[in-house]
Amino acid sequence: MNGKLTFGDKSIDLPIIEGTEKEKAIDIGKLRSTTGLITLDSGYSNTGSAKSKITYLNGEEGILRHRGYRIEDLALNCTFLEVAYLVIFGDLPSKEKLDNFSERVMRHALIDERIKDVFKAFPLATHPMALLEATTVALSAFYSSSEVYGKDTKDDLERNIFRLLGKLPSLVAYSYKKKRGLPYAYPNTDLNYVENFLQMVFNVPTRKYNSNPLFREAIEKLLILHVDHELNCSTSTVRMIGSSEANLYSSISGGISALSGALHGGANQAVLEMLEQIYQQGGNIKMFIERAKDKNDSFKLMGFGHRVYKNFDPRAVIVKDLCRTILKEQAENNPLFDLALELEEQALQDSYFQERKLYPNIDFYSGLIYKAMGFSNDMFTALFVVGRLPGWIAHWVEMRNDPHSRIDRPRQVYTGATERKFTPIKERS
């Protein structure tokens, strides 16, 4: 099937590409060479930059599937590493394959002792995301055997995938301990991925740490819910960096940087800070909703709205129930959770939010769960990093294995000055 584009007296046929879920795209690969035109799509809302087999997302109907499996089924029945295997390798693993995969990942949990010096060089108050950006890229100096920076062999690449999955939770735990001046806990490979992560974060030499089974289950679920979300800002960044043949560590570090922003992964921290602000200022929800609607006020309802979900975020539905269970477990009911529920209800009844299809996203609730488990606000986005890592890796590998993949290089519409006569500095006023 072809589409026709008419521009002045010119007209060209453009092929229509159809995905497996029947979604259609116009292939504009020949647009500039035949018409001289480019497309302009600020924020890329209408632009597909890849064909991908990893995740199907239908924002209108609230559908999210990885490699064909519904997120609801995966969150209910799988472990995080099982879903990581699925997105990276394409199929659900057998028990034997999963055991082997887990063993290889856990074998790489230990970090070169010299990475501690990298942590040491940073001020105590450094945000965990800054530490993760820096130390992830530092791993390439320790674990990339190639003589040409970025040009790893196939074997190196496979090992680097296991290394990243194994070491990232250790880096996150180190970031947590550093800020508190606490000794780093070594990984314990007798434990599973999530148990080991929790013990590395919360274990101190003076007190034996036993993780709460409900918290373990909640972290497992939250990590699964964050595994992949097709070509969002951070994943596109990872693919874009990798398209230049930069190595996996550098590409993932770029993804972490992109995720840190408050409009993306940083929103989970921003939601908690917003709820705390509303609570501390007397809980006047109506006033904050009015502020969010006021175009002269920069205040937004954090955790509300999504570029692709225009009905509901299926992950938020699961997280909301999880949040209720976790907070019920707490001796005292958390006033911020009640406030969050009330805020959600009032916003959903407001015509401003209804007309713009603004619904709570996953970040609206995830921070409350992390808080209840004892994580500090600045750790929330770092937890998102652990969850999103398999998705970033899967996309990077898919892009690098695609024989049609090229270096990403968008064009622009120039709106600056036309040619000006140069004036030497002595003659400038």
What residues line the site for ligand ACO (CB under 6 A)? 43, 263-265, 267, 292, 300-307, 356, 358, 361-363
Q: Is the CB of residue 174 less than 8 Å from the CB of residue 112?
A: no
Nearer of residues 104 and 307 to ligand ACO, judged by Cβ: 307
- Identify which of 189, 201, 198, 162 has the alpha carbon closest to the alpha carbon of residue 84: 162
In the three-class reduction of DSSP (H, G, I as helix; E, B as strand; rest coil), residue 10 is classed as strand
Residue 253 Cβ vs ligand ACO, minimum distance, rounded to whole Å: 18
Nearer of residues 75 and 246 to ligand ACO, judged by Cβ: 75
How far, in Å, CA of 218 to CA of 370, rounded? 9
* Position with the least CB separation from ligand ACO: 305
Element (H, E) at 69: strand 69-70
Nearer of residues 109 and 219 to ligand ACO, judged by Cβ: 219
Dihedral of CA atoms 350, 351, 356, 358 in degrees, nearest 10, equals 20
Residue 143 Cβ vs ligand ACO, minimum distance, rounded to whole Å: 29
- Identify which of 42, 71, 347 has the alpha carbon closest to the alpha carbon of residue 230: 71
Residue 84 Cβ vs ligand ACO, minimum distance, rounded to whole Å: 18
Nearer of residues 93 and 128 to ligand ACO, judged by Cβ: 128
- Identify which of 84, 251, 121, 108 has the alpha carbon closest to the alpha carbon of residue 170: 108
HSE-up of residue 308 (Cα within 13 Å, Cβ side) = 20
Q: The tokens of 106 are what?
A: 């856990």
Nearer of residues 16 and 263 to ligand ACO, judged by Cβ: 263
Residue 349 Cβ vs ligand ACO, minimum distance, rounded to whole Å: 15
Active site residue 363: yes
CA dihedral over 380, 383, 387, 389, signed as positive or negative: positive
How far, in Å, CA of 200 to CA of 184, rounded? 7
Nearer of residues 138 and 272 to ligand ACO, judged by Cβ: 272
Active site residue 152: no
Which of these is catalytic: 108, 226, 229, 306?
A: 306
Which of these is catalytic: 152, 228, 313, 363?
A: 363
In the three-class reduction of DSSP (H, G, I as helix; E, B as strand; rest coil), residue 206 is classed as coil
Nearer of residues 119 and 309 to ligand ACO, judged by Cβ: 309
Residue 31 Cβ vs ligand ACO, minimum distance, rounded to whole Å: 25
Burial 196-224, CB ≥16 within 10 A → b, else e: bbbbbbbbeeeeeeebeeebbebbbbbbb
In the three-class reduction of DSSP (H, G, I as helix; E, B as strand; rest coil), residue 247 is classed as coil
Residue 51 Cβ vs ligand ACO, minimum distance, rounded to whole Å: 23
**Within the chain, what is the greatest distance between any pair of CA atoms?**
79
Residues taking part in catalysis: 306, 363
